[in-house]
Chain A
């Protein structure tokens, strides 16, 4: 097992290098490059900019700049914000809990509902329920998240007045858990919709895949009842592609969270990203791009290790 984990970690190294090269290239693609903020400031002269260029090492060859930047990333020095000069990594980490609360709750809800629909659809393939579930999933996948969010706000916040239309807390209610839950319901449901659709489709095909295997026929021939067959025999085998999906769908989850946070004014990383975009805060943008990509690499690594824990064949191959 340990050697499998070691090999799998090594496989992430090229990805890390690739991600860092793309991140570094994007930073230099920014209009004005890393010096953009200084050229916009009228009190700074050209001589000043030249001096800053040398201090920041921007007069050095590209590969040396890259290594300096990459070693900074590795040691937690992700640069400083243009406005306020705060460390970028700190600014991002500050927003992390809000985003992870939103993503975590939406993902849990989506997996719960999506898997149930998927399993029922696979068991009763081509039934009315299955037809409705598969076409319903396709419809859900076609909704633009932001529009669905706006419709939800219109119905539940403006028309019915049941739930708040945005934000994370009412003023002065920062410690009130119930208030937090009330604010979480709408963004969580909106983000969960598309993920539920993805999970129900994948669960359905993962279960259909295993249900025609010989061991399922054997289990039936042994006289095992359907629930036992599903839980003891089908589930463990169908679980692997679903755990892999957890890692594969992480980038889409971040994208969905960005849109959801923007509509609902949820103070998370997605909101931070959009604000940084509007303020041309390039260091924060680059930091966010790198943060999400690194998180996706680690997420896929964890998913693969989980799969190897479940299935000895994976770690021996």
Chain B
């Protein structure tokens, strides 16, 4: 089985590309204090707007305050990925619990929870994100939680659909006959059986959470300066856009690369783990 999964995964060059990209980015974020050549917050106005590859020691140049761009990108990646991962965990946990309860318990609870999902899906995510982010004092955790709590709905629908299919199967009946409680059946019998679709959803959710963080940071309601995130680096760079475009190109390229990496990885995992779930049946 394991060979099969890996074999199917390996056949997708883009999935492998996604995996490698994600691995490199995560390692870079994890070890950024050791890799970064400079302190990302160190100001030095004597070396503002150094172009990439123009001066030794500043491979990707410096920004409007003379801070090293490469170090800021590395630390910014750390922030963006942390927010992305915490938001993903929030999304998956909320979505899984609501999906499990709705799918397993059924009846009135199912109806109420699913109407709640429908209601949440009526709001454009950015509008909700921005309003709540403006009301709550910004911190990394609050940003991640806000993103997570406004994007769990699709996960709960996926989980519910899987549970509706699974709960009629023999092993669930057997557990019930043995007197297992509802909680035990939901979390110990059913949950492990939806690990594959959950893993796929989780990977794709990191991509959209990183994207969401960049949107609200870009608009000024996410990660606050002087802390660097790829989104707020772009906000700063916008002011010097016509003369020093690389300051805007680099963080945007990092966001795109990260989101793309998680998207390709998620897609590849979907094909490898569960051929049933493929987009093209």
Contacts and interface: CB of A to CB of B under 8 A. Distances in A.
Contact of B256 (A26, A31, A147): A147
B277 to A, nearest CB: 12
Contact of B249 (A19, A151, A252, A280): A151
> At the interface, is chain B mostly helix, strand, loop or mixed?
helix
Interface stretch (A70-78, A182-190, A226-234, A254-262): A254-262
Q: How large is the interface on B (under 10, 10 to 19, 20 to 34, 35 or more residues)?
A: 35 or more
A240 to B, nearest CB: 16
Nearest to A158: B242
B176 interface: no
B245 A251 contact: no
Interface in B120-134: 120-128, 130-132, 134
Given A19-B119, A31-B135, A262-B219, A142 B279 contact: no
Contacts of B249: 151
The residue in B130, B234, B238, B264 that gathers the most chain A C-beta atoms within 10 A of its C-beta is B130
A251 B129 CA distance: 13
Contact of A151 (B121, B252, B259): B252
Contacts of A293: 122-123
Contact of A22 (B123, B220, B238, B264): B123
B281 A150 contact: no
Contact of B127 (A15, A278, A289): A289
A150 B135 contact: no
A254 B132 CA distance: 17
Interface stretch (A45-53, A109-117, A173-181, A200-208): A200-208
Contacts of A123: none
Contacts of A19: 119, 122-123
Interface residues of A, number: 51
A293 to B, nearest CB: 4
A135 interface: yes
The residue in A15, A146, A154 that gathers the most chain B C-beta atoms within 10 A of its C-beta is A146
B215 interface: yes
Interface in B229-261: 231, 234, 238, 241-242, 245, 248-249, 251-252, 255-256, 259-260
Contacts of B238: 150
Contacts of A30: 135
Contacts of A135: 14
B207 interface: yes
Contact of A255 (B127, B221, B259): B127
A153 B237 CA distance: 14
A91 B14 CA distance: 47
Given A138-B267, A141-B263, A277 B128 contact: no
Contacts of B31: none
A316 interface: no
Interface string A276-309: 0110100001001100110011000000000000
26 contacts: A26-B132, A29-B132, A138-B264, A139-B256, A141-B259, A142-B211, A144-B214, A144-B215, A144-B231, A146-B214, A147-B214, A147-B234, A151-B248, A154-B245, A208-B280, A251-B123, A251-B124, A255-B124, A258-B126, A277-B131, A277-B219, A280-B134, A288-B127, A289-B128, A289-B131, A297-B122
The list of the 3 closest CB pairs from A to B, nearest first, reads: A18-B119, A147-B252, A142-B260
